[in-house]
């Protein structure tokens, strides 16, 4: 997906109000309402909650709460919905935000506070002792954070579009977003800075001030005009490790988690990496019984669409079947796990996913994530005379492995170049998944490979991977790879992307600088899940080039501390890509298995 999309829909966003689906909301709803409920925490801080209850509630009921930094009143519509469907619902300002006391320390504070809320709610006369949570993005993450503390009365969680710190926020592949300062400004102070946050032109130009002047990324908060100790603390931990691990369950905590879980994400959800990281680690470490109670739903949606689905996103249509009634699905899940009702009929197997593509818009099912992919098909990168530097003069994605010695391809990247816009949108960052203009304008500055037209409709489902044999003449650089479907009429849809900072080619927990001139294998395995039918006559396009954009931390290729590098450290790098018999660079495509409905 476009980097701008990767950025703005990304981790923790959900800042704008996310409304209940209009079809789900009763025309007239009467609820018992109470603003300003104070929830005491163990250290004496009081959080502010808004309470919604069924009118004239007589007996205690299960309680649902959302814990948000985006000001509690934004979720009024959700409170009205669930209170009108026989649940108690609270929307709560996190510590230090809105009308809650204390100081806001993003993410890290929510584990203990979430625990305290659960146990306090369980003692209230309107609660029957069963407590759950609702929400996506930040409010999806804080469900995992709360669950790892094991409050006795937390009965289930439904984490939606959940980022995972150190995986997809505040960086991805250990590369920081400029958006971090946009989000930190949104959540500065007690109230939401919505107008500032939502001014795309303002932020584009603020990021350009830093990038065009080739100032160190660590000065971004000063350039923006909002010096941030939180931003500086994040930058002090530039790779996965103990600091970022502290935000998530430990391996032992994952193994102990055994409550019912419904993980929800989308193919165009830019927090899919975080959501899937939580899901995969729990499924890897948990008991068989706990794994059997963990369900996964992957829709076609973008980040916000995981809560309120839309039929289109950035020029791509999903089909009417994608418009799932998410309020009703949550209610069905809660009815099952909190009230002893029937399993949600929509969840026909442990994994539910949506197949995109012409003539294929429907829901599919599998007993496990791994069962979605039947096989993996390699497509080998190839070119004639080492020339693959343009959409119009590209290399090939071939079905046959390379034979013999072949001249490699290469591109040259100057980090002082501020005109490279292959991955960006316009000045305001507006993008479309179908826009090819940036890529077409980058001729000669990257590598492009096309497959032959597909001879029949072909369904992909799973996680693509890219294995490249490369040599660099500098100790470090950042790579970007984008995957597209090119239709017979020449139109394009971006269907995947992956990034790599080459010092982390051996793993994201340890930096190992590149030995200039050495030919090594670089695995870009951060592509998100996709399920798409590639139509008869369509081709695949793979573009590989520098991550040169104002929307991400700039790597000046010197091998130093990237956040501290500036234009004076800039080194032009030549990236050489090999695709001969000894170095079979390849794109690995996940071929879809048949759908397997079953009992939930």
More confident residue, 484 or 1: 484
Would you say the CATH fold of 374-592 matches that of 3-165+247-367?
no
Encode burial over 278-303: b for 16+ CB neighbours within 10 A, e otherwise: bbebbbebbeeebbebbbbbbbbbbb
Which region, left, alpha or beta, applies to residue 365 given φ > 0 means left and ψ of -120 to 50 means alpha? beta
CA separation, residue 143 to residues 136, 164, 200, 381, 425 (Å): 9, 11, 30, 42, 34
In angstroms, the Cα distances linking 26 to 31, 411, 455, 501 are 12, 58, 49, 50
Query: Could you tell me which residues are beta bridge partners of residue 294?
Result: 261
Q: Would you list the domain boundaries of the chain? A: 3-165+247-367, 374-592
- What is residue 27's predicted lDDT score, i.e. its pLDDT? 47
Cβ proximity of 141 and 108 under 8 Å: no
Mean confidence (pLDDT) of the chain: 93
Lowest mean pLDDT among 22-26, 71-75, 264-268, 358-362: 22-26
Mean pLDDT value across residues 141-155: 98
Q: How far apart are CA 326 and CA 319, in angstroms?
A: 16
CA dist 504 and 582 (Å) reads 23
How many whole angstroms separate alpha carbon 328 and alpha carbon 87?
Answer: 13
Q: What percent of the chain has pLDDT over 70?
A: 94
Rounded to whole angstroms, what are the CA distances from 140 to 54, 155, 200, 216? 25, 16, 25, 32
Q: Tell me: the pLDDT tens digits for 284-328?
A: 999 999 999 999 999 999 999 999 999 999 988 898 999 999 999
Percent of the chain with pLDDT over 90: 85
Q: Tell me which range, 381-395, 426-440, 509-523, is most confidently predicted by mean pLDDT.
A: 509-523
pLDDT tens track for 166-214: 999 999 999 999 999 999 999 999 998 999 999 999 999 999 999 999 9
The beta-carbon contacts of 102-108 under 8 Å, at least 24 apart in sequence, are: 102/41, 102/45, 104/69, 104/187, 105/230, 106/12, 106/69, 106/184, 106/187, 106/230, 107/12, 107/138, 107/141, 107/142, 107/145, 107/165, 107/247, 108/246, 108/247
- Would the pLDDT of 18 be above 90? no
CA diameter of the chain:
80
CA 321 to CA 360: how far, in whole Å?
11
274 and 281 Cβ atoms separated by less than 8 Å: no
* Contact between 214 and 416 (Cβ < 8 Å): yes
CATH number of the 374-592 domain: 2.60.120.260
Q: Report pLDDT digits (tens) over 211-225.
A: 999 999 999 999 999
Straight-line distance from the first to the last Cα atom of the chain, in angstroms, rounded to the nearest whole number = 32
Q: Is the pLDDT of residue 3 over 90?
A: no
Whether 568 contacts 514, CB under 8 Å:
no
Task: State in words which class domain 3-165+247-367 has.
Answer: alpha beta
| Cα–Cα distance for residue pair 353/282, rounded to 1 Å | 19
pLDDT at 121 over 80: yes
Q: Are 341 and 335 in contact (CB under 8 A)?
A: yes
Task: Give the pLDDT score at 17.
Answer: 33
Give pLDDT, residue 11: 37
**3-class secondary structure, 291:** helix
pLDDT of 596 reads 85
For residue 481, the model assigns a pLDDT of: 97
- Is 561 a residue whose pLDDT tops 70? yes
Per-residue pLDDT averaged across 5-9, rounded?
Answer: 43
Q: In the predicted model, what is the mean pLDDT of residues 372-376?
A: 98
Q: What is the pLDDT of residue 39?
A: 98
579 pLDDT more than 90: yes
Rounded CA separation 231/146 (Å):
24
Mean pLDDT of 321-336: 97
Range 457-481 average pLDDT: 98
pLDDT at 425: 66
**Rg of the chain over all Cα atoms, to the nearest angstrom:** 24
Asked if pLDDT for residue 430 goes beyond 70, the answer is no
Q: What is the predicted pLDDT for the residue at 558?
A: 97
* Parallel, antiparallel or unpaired: strands 294-302 and 351-355: parallel
């Amino acid at each position: 997906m476009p980097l701008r999309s990767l950025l703005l829909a990304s981790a923790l966003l959900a800042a704008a109000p996310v409304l209940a689906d209009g079809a789900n909301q009763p025309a007239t709803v009467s609820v018992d309402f109470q603003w300003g409920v104070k929830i005491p925490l163990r250290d004496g801080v009081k959080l502010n909650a808004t309470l919604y209850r069924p009118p004239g509630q007589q007996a205690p009921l299960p309680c649902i709460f959302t814990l948000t930094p985006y000001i509690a009143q934004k979720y009024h519509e959700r409170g009205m919905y669930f209170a009108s469907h026989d649940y108690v619902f609270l929307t709560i300002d996190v510590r230090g935000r809105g009308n809650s006391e204390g100081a806001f320390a993003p993410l890290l504070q929510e584990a203990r506070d979430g625990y305290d809320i659960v146990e306090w709610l369980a003692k209230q006369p309107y609660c029957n002792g069963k407590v759950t949570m609702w929400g996506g993005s930040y409010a999806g993450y804080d469900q995992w954070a709360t669950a790892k503390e094991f409050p006795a009365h937390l009965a289930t969680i439904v984490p939606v579009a959940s980022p995972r710190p150190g995986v997809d926020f505040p960086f991805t592949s250990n590369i920081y977003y400029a958006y971090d300062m946009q989000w930190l400004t949104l959540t500065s102070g007690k109230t939401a800075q919505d107008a500032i946050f939502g001014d795309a032109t303002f932020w584009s130009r603020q990021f350009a001030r830093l990038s065009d002047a080739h100032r160190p990324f660590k000065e971004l908060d000063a350039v923006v005009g909002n010096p941030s100790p939180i931003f500086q603390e994040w930058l002090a931990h530039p790779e996965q490790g103990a600091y970022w691990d502290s935000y998530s369950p430990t391996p032992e905590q994952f193994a102990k988690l055994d409550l019912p879980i419904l993980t929800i994400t989308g193919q165009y959800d830019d927090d899919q990496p975080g959501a899937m990281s939580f899901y995969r680690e729990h499924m890897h470490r948990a008991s068989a019984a706990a794994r059997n109670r963990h369900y996964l739903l992957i829709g076609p949606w973008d980040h916000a669409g995981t809560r309120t689905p839309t039929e289109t996103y950035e020029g791509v249509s999903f089909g009417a079947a994608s418009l799932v009634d998410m309020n009703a699905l949550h209610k069905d899940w809660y009815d099952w796990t909190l009230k002893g009702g029937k399993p949600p009929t929509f969840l026909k197997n442990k994994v539910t996913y949506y197949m995109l593509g012409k003539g294929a818009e429907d829901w599919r099912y599998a007993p496990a994530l791994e069962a979605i992919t039947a096989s993996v098909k390699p497509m080998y990168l190839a070119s004639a005379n080492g020339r693959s530097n343009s959409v119009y003069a590209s290399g090939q994605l071939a079905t046959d492995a390379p034979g013999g010695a072949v001249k490699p391809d290469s591109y040259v990247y100057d980090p002082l170049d501020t005109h490279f816009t292959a991955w960006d949108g316009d000045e305001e960052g507006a993008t479309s998944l179908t826009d090819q203009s940036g890529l077409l304008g980058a001729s000669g500055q990257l590598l492009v490979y096309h497959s032959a037209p597909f001879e029949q409709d072909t369904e992909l489902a799973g996680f693509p991977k890219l294995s490249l044999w490369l040599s660099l003449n500098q100790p470090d650089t950042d790579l970007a790879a984008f995957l597209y479907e090119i239709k017979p009429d020449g139109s394009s849809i971006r269907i995947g992307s992956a990034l790599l900072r080459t010092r982390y080619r051996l793993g994201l927990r340890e930096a190992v600088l590149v030995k200039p001139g050495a030919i090594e294998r670089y695995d870009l395995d951060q592509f998100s899940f996709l399920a798409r039918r590639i139509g008869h006559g369509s081709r695949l396009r793979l573009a590989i080039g520098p991550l040169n954009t104002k929307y991400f931390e700039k790597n000046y290729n010197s091998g130093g501390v990237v956040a501290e590098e500036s234009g004076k450290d800039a080194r032009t790098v030549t990236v050489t890509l090999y695709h001969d018999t000894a170095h079979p660079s390849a794109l690995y495509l996940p071929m879809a298995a048949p759908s397997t409905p079953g009992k939930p």
